[in-house]
Structures are given as structure tokens and as C-alpha cells.
Chain A
Amino acid sequence: MIDHAARAKTFVEDEVRLHWHDKAVWFVRQKRDLARAVLPEWEELRTLASQIKAHTLSRLADYLEEFEKKALAAGAQVHWARDADEHNLIVHGLLQARGVTRLVKSKSMLTEDCGLNPYLEARGIEVVDTDLGERIVQFRHEPPSHIVMPAIHLRKEEIGVLFHERLGTPVGLADPRALTEAARQHLRAKFLGAQAGLTGVNFAIASTGGVVVCTNEGNADLGTALPPLHIACMGVEKLVPGPRELGVFLRLLARSATGQAITTYTSHYHGPRPGAELHIVIVDHGRSGILARKEFRRALQCIRCGACLNTCPVYRHSGGHSYGVAVAGPIGSVLAPHLDAKKNAGLPFASTLCGSCTDVCPVRIDLHHQLLLWRGELAARGLVPLGKRFVSRVGRWVLLRTWAYRLFGKLARIFAPLLPRSGWTRQRELPPMPRESFRAQWRNRAGPR
């Protein structure tokens, strides 16, 4: 089981990084607040987006078939993958058949989730992530810590050291512009040498068969404009019915993600460019299982904007790596147990249930409620530690008997201050223990009532 608390403790111990990370991420939340404040219809848009996604998911099979038909008609080829293994196999097959050994990728949380990079690398293919943040974490052999800002856990000085080692920038160079320029030159060569480009998909349009990719760096465009093969990987939930509906999401996505009115590049692919191939890989990887669960279904509405991470005080104070999954934060904690409930049983507990995620989500996913429901499900499946189960049972026995509750309360007030410092008292004082409970005081005050 992923021990979020232990990983988070390590993160918190570096106080400088803790505060810096919290501020950097909160800054993005504030930018989002400003960006949505200019749209008086914001709450209506959220409702509309939620309804469109709910509708699309309610007849997903129909929309998928329509999408496939239109995509084929536009000249793309469509592949279906049941899970991560099939997805990786398909992508590798496409590359192998064309003798590709050099692949450039733009950001895709799906391929991260499927473990595509190590899979391809083990088969002799050089995979270059071309999103700047992704390239940084790829150099460091670590996963992204945020779905929109993969290297948000690193300071510019650390990136300077890394680029000195990997790209030969001068020692001590930490100017973000100079570092970005170095990465640009490095990536330019990779783009020119690539034999194939792989992208994620932000939206797939059922009525046109087109896929839409949103980036800020234009790396997806370069990666698909140069090599003769474009592979676009998408989860089944990326569909929207038509271009009209797409407009609603484009207005919400960048504002929620980074506080921009729209991403710098919003690229539409309807079929391959002349002389090139476009392959769309549509992946289930557990999604139909989520769709089958009424109370959890709404999680599939997610457009991966990252707003729930930015607002989450636990994410900001523990960092993305503490979650141990590709998608961190509230949405990650809601999705991960579907794939592996045992391994990810701790994640729904990595929350104070403050509810900020639910209110910030542009597609109105009831995130904190789902976290609570997951706790219930994990307990019911016996995936919560036995000690907790025991305490809960004792609690129930005591709380159902008013006399036992009174006695227990009295003992707690006497003995709690005598215990050695641990748990609550390691960093906090206990409240001064009153001699009498309220109920005793009330009796004394009023006489028998």
C-alpha cells in the first residue's frame, strides 16, 4: 500500500521547499480565480459542461462508434485497447512495423498511466518527452508531480544543475529564460530527428472524428508536423458530441488549469496530413468499470485541468510524488483505487475532506464526496487496517450506550494528559482538560429537568 502519510512527512521536513511549493501552486489557483472572474456565466458553464459530459457518458458506446466512423472517413486509423498492456502493444506494433526508433511525445497522462515510456525504452526505442516540464522529470527518471505542471516540485536552481549535467549549460545558470532556450535547442534536434510523434488527446469530437490537443509550448504541433506518423492516444472518456460542445470545454479548461483564457495552441486533427499517417488509439484501461458504478461515474467527466490539485491543501503540503500514482491530488485519489484498490487504499484518506476540490472543479465532479464513499467501500472490502476497524467497533459500542460514553469521556479527560507525547501531542498541546463535561455542568446549573 502506498503510504501517503510517510511520503508526505519527508516532503514536509524540507520546510523551504514546502512553503515554496505551496505558494507556487497556490499562485496558479489565484490566477484561475482571476481568469474565471471575468466570465459572469462561470457557474452556468460548469453546469453545462457537467451535463454534456454526463450525457456523453450515458451513451458512450454510440458516440464512440460515431467517432470511429468519422475518424476513419477522415483518413485516420482507429485502434481499440482494453487495458494498458494492449495499449502499449498497439503503440509498439505501429512503431516497429515502420522501423521507428526515435519517438517524440507531447504530454499524455494516459501513457504515463500505462507505463508506455519504460515499455518502449525496453524495446530499443528512444522516447523523448517534449513538454519542457516532462523533459525535466524524464531527465531525472521520476514521474511528473502534477498533471499540468510536471516539474512544479523543482526550483529553477535544481533545473540549472540538471541542465548543466544533461545539456551542458554553464555551471550556476538558473535564469528560466536561458534554461528554456537551452531546452529548446536540445528539443529542436530531437524533433528534426524523430520518425514518429505521439500525443495525448484533450477532446475527441464524435460528429467530426477529429481530435483536439491543447498545449502551451506548441510541442505537439511540431511533433506531429515533422514526422510521417502521428499516434494519438486517448481514454474513452475524452469524447464530446460535437464542435459546439467543445467550445464549452475550451472556455473552462485553460482558465481552470493555468488561468489563461485559452491554451496557446489548440490543435485540431481531422485525419492525417497529406502523405502521413494518423493512428488513434482508444483505451479503456478500467474506465468502463468506473462507468458501471453509479456513485463514481462522474469522475470520468474529468478534463485533467489540475485545478483540484492546485486548490488542495493536502496536495500543496505534500507534493505530487507523495501519492505514488501518475495522477496525484483529489482526482488521482478518486481514480487510483478503481485500478488497484489494495495498493491505493490509503489515498482516499489523504484528504481533510475540505471540499475545495469539488467547488473548483470545472465539470462539477463531487470529488470530496467520492473520497468519502471510497473510504466506505475500502472499509467494507476489508482494505482498512484492522486497528482502525477495532477502534471504530469500540467507538460504536461506547457511543450507543450513554453511560459508557460518560464514563469513557471522564477517563479520557483524566488520562489523556498523562500519556507520553505522540500522535496529537507530538507537535500540539491538548486542550486544558475541564473537570466536568458539559452535560454535568448543565445538570448542576439547572437542577433536575
Chain B
Amino acid sequence: MEVALFIPCYMDQLYPRVAMATAELLERYGVTVRFPEAQTCCGQPMANSGFFDDARPVARKMIDVFESYPHVVCPSGSCTSMVRNHYPDLLASEPRLEALRGKTLELCEFLHDVLKVRPAGRFAHKVGLHQSCHGLRELRLGSGSERLVPAFSKTRALLEGLEGIELVELARPDDCCGFGGTFAVAEEAVSCAMGRDRIADHERAGAEIITAADISCLMHMDGLIRRDGKKQRVLHIAELLLEATA
């Protein structure tokens, strides 16, 4: 199976190790990974600031870049949701949009639903799972605590089979970390207060490692953890799975 990687801009520039882990993890499951080099960004930073007219041509570029690939996989719930759920607001009359939306999947979805893998391996650590909001509530990677539907979590299902892993119980399993894109800077006080509360929850639950399907949330929490001299380590779920299944 051939897959085109869609690597969010901030990941490409700041977390190449996560992008590489994603590629290697997919290869481990027999996938042929391509990286279309013309890609830059999905346009979410502009769209979330309200500048739809600036995001529009960037979104169109995404369609061009990925047009010839059968599958697009992205190790970020937020950027995947941008394409799937918010591009229609920007590109209502673009006939090629449906094709891109239909074939773009977040990494955990792709592993869980398309490859149907349940990683086997060893990861003897206490792990706190942070449910990044857009993956959880816009892509429905999990049931979420608000709705009364049968409980499920695709991210958790990928981790549960690992030998030795202890997924700690959080008091608030899906409260937001406060990153929120430009919110992190525009509303710095609230953003950091929210982040510290999330970290404290993981700390109380005894997590050594905090994992998530979005490195943006983890970048925010890691920034606070290191500034505050705490001990938790953050790992994107792709890194964790790659390490566990080595």
C-alpha cells in the first residue's frame, strides 16, 4: 500500500523525529511511504485566526500536492480535521475537495481502521494518554466524556496491547491542554493555567510519560514541564509505538 505523508509545518520544522517515527512505523507495517516535497502547511493557523481568504489558496495547494496519491496520512488530529472538517468552509465550490477529504486520515485512524493493527511490543512505563481535542471531538478517535455513547478510544486501543504498559487513570481524561494554536500566545495566562492543570492531573495519576496523537499539545505541555522543572517526558504516539515495537 502506498501512502503520502502529510507532515504539519511545525512538525516538519520542530519535531522531525516524530515525522520520521511516523514514516518508520508505517514502513514497519509494510506501507510504502512517500513524502511529497511541495507540501508546506494546511492553512489552519490563518483559518483559525479568521483569515479564511489567506487560508484558501494554501488549502488549494494541499489539494494539488496530494492529488495523485491514494492515501494521505497525517500524524496530527488537528491538521487532519482541518482538511476533513474545515476545508468545506473555505473551498465550498472546489470539485476536487471531496477526493482529498475522503482519503486523508489521521495516523491512529489509519493504523486502527485501515491497517487494523493492534501493535504488539513492550513498553514498561506508566503512560498518561492526552486526548487531543480535534482528534477526539472532530475526528471521533474516541467517544469523549460529554456524549452518552458506548466508550471507545482508537488511540488507547493502539496502546493497550503493549506488554508492561500501564495507562494511568486521569481525573479528567479529556479536558483541553490549552494550546489552541495562536490562543497559546494571545491568551497566554489561561493557556498556561490550563496546561499546568493537565500536567498536574497526569502527575497525580503517576504518569512518567505523557503521550498524544498531536505534538502541538505536547509541545505546549513539555514547554511548561521543563520550565517548571517537572519530570514527565512527552512522546508522540508514533514515537512511543515505534519504540515499543522495535
A residues near B (Cβ < 8 Å) are 4-5, 8-9, 12-13, 18-19, 22, 26, 33, 36-37, 39-40, 42-43, 311, 313-314, 317-318, 348-356, 358-360, 372-380, 384, 388-389, 392-393, 395-396, 398-400, 402, 405, 409, 412-413, 423-424, 426-431, 433-434, 436-442, 445, 449
Instruction: Please state if B41 and A405 are interface contacts (CB–CB under 8 Å).
Output: yes
Instruction: Please state if B50 and A399 are interface contacts (CB–CB under 8 Å).
Output: no
Instruction: Please state if A409 and B23 are interface contacts (CB–CB under 8 Å).
Output: no
Instruction: Please state if A358 and B183 are interface contacts (CB–CB under 8 Å).
Output: no
Is residue B128 within 8 Å, beta carbon to beta carbon, of the partner chain? no
**Cβ-closest chain A residue relative to B144:** A359
Instruction: Please state if A36 and B148 are interface contacts (CB–CB under 8 Å).
Output: yes
Using A43-B147, A402-B37, A439-B37 as known contacts, say yes or no to A5 and B189 having CB atoms under 8 A apart.
Answer: yes
Question: Within the complex, which residue of B145, B180, B188 is in contact with A427, where a contact is CB–CB below 8 Å?
Answer: B188
**Cβ-closest chain B residue relative to A348:** B50
Question: Within the complex, which residue of B12, B13, B49, B181 is in contact with A379, where a contact is CB–CB below 8 Å?
Answer: B49
The docked-state distance in angstroms from the alpha carbon of A439 to that of B36 is: 9
Assuming A12-B193, A313-B178, A431-B14, what are 8 further A-B pairs, CB within 8 angstroms? A352-B133, A355-B138, A372-B48, A375-B48, A392-B51, A399-B9, A399-B61, A442-B23
Instruction: Please state if A437 and B12 are interface contacts (CB–CB under 8 Å).
Output: yes
Instruction: Please state if A8 and B187 are interface contacts (CB–CB under 8 Å).
Output: yes
Instruction: Please state if A12 and B219 are interface contacts (CB–CB under 8 Å).
Output: no
B residues near A (Cβ < 8 Å) are 7, 9, 11-17, 19-20, 23, 34-35, 37-41, 43, 45-55, 57-58, 61, 86, 89, 133-134, 136-138, 144-149, 172, 174-176, 178-181, 183-195, 197, 219-220, 222-224, 226-227
CB distance from B106 to the nearest CB of A (A): 15
The docked-state distance in angstroms from the alpha carbon of A437 to that of B147 is: 40
The docked-state distance in angstroms from the alpha carbon of A424 to that of B182 is: 10
The docked-state distance in angstroms from the alpha carbon of A296 to that of B30 is: 46
Instruction: Please state if A379 and B189 are interface contacts (CB–CB under 8 Å).
Output: no
Q: Chain B interface secondary structure, helix, strand, loop or mixed?
A: helix
Instruction: Please state if B223 and A313 are interface contacts (CB–CB under 8 Å).
Output: no
Using A392-B49, A412-B13 as known contacts, say yes or no to A352 and B224 having CB atoms under 8 A apart.
Answer: no
**Cβ-closest chain A residue relative to B61:** A400
By a CB distance below 8 angstroms, the chain B residues around A428 are 192, 195, 220, 223-224, 227
CB distance from A441 to the nearest CB of B (A): 5
By a CB distance below 8 angstroms, the chain B residues around A424 are 184-185, 188, 223
The docked-state distance in angstroms from the alpha carbon of A424 to that of B174 is: 23
By a CB distance below 8 angstroms, the chain B residues around A396 are 46, 51, 54-55, 57-58
By a CB distance below 8 angstroms, the chain A residues around B39 are 402
Pick 7 A–B contacts, CB within 8 A, sort by A.
A36-B148, A313-B176, A354-B133, A359-B137, A405-B40, A428-B220, A438-B7
By a CB distance below 8 angstroms, the chain B residues around A393 are 51, 54
By a CB distance below 8 angstroms, the chain A residues around B179 are 352
Using A349-B183, A402-B37, A423-B188 as known contacts, say yes or no to A431 and B222 having CB atoms under 8 A apart.
Answer: yes
By a CB distance below 8 angstroms, the chain B residues around A438 are 7, 11-13, 15-16, 19-20, 35
The docked-state distance in angstroms from the alpha carbon of A22 to that of B11 is: 32
The docked-state distance in angstroms from the alpha carbon of A380 to that of B227 is: 38
Using A43-B149, A352-B180 as known contacts, say yes or no to A427 and B192 having CB atoms under 8 A apart.
Answer: yes
By a CB distance below 8 angstroms, the chain A residues around B222 are 429, 431
Instruction: Please state if A5 and B186 are interface contacts (CB–CB under 8 Å).
Output: yes
Listed residue (A8, A374, A449) with the most chain B CB atoms within 10 angstroms of its CB: A8
Instruction: Please state if A375 and B194 are interface contacts (CB–CB under 8 Å).
Output: no
By a CB distance below 8 angstroms, the chain B residues around A8 are 187, 189-190
The docked-state distance in angstroms from the alpha carbon of A4 to that of B186 is: 10
Using A437-B16, A439-B37 as known contacts, say yes or no to A426 and B146 having CB atoms under 8 A apart.
Answer: no
